[in-house]
Amino acid sequence: MDEQKTTKPTLNIGQLIKDELERQERSVSWFARKLYCDRSNVYKIFKRSTIDTELLIRISGILNHDFFSDYVSIVTDNMKQQAE
The per-residue pLDDT of the chain, averaged, comes to 89
Domains of the chain: 13-83 (1.10.260.40)
pLDDT at 83: 87
Min mean pLDDT across 11-15, 18-22, 25-29, 64-68 is at 11-15
Looking at residue 17, what DSSP letter applies? Answer: H
Q: What is the pTM of this model?
A: 0.81
Which string of DSSP letters, residue by residue, matches 26-79? --HHHHHHHHTS-HHHHHHHHT-SS--HHHHHHHHHHHT--HHHHHHHHHHHHH
CA distance 2 to 67: 35
pLDDT, tens only, 17-37: 999 999 999 999 999 999 999
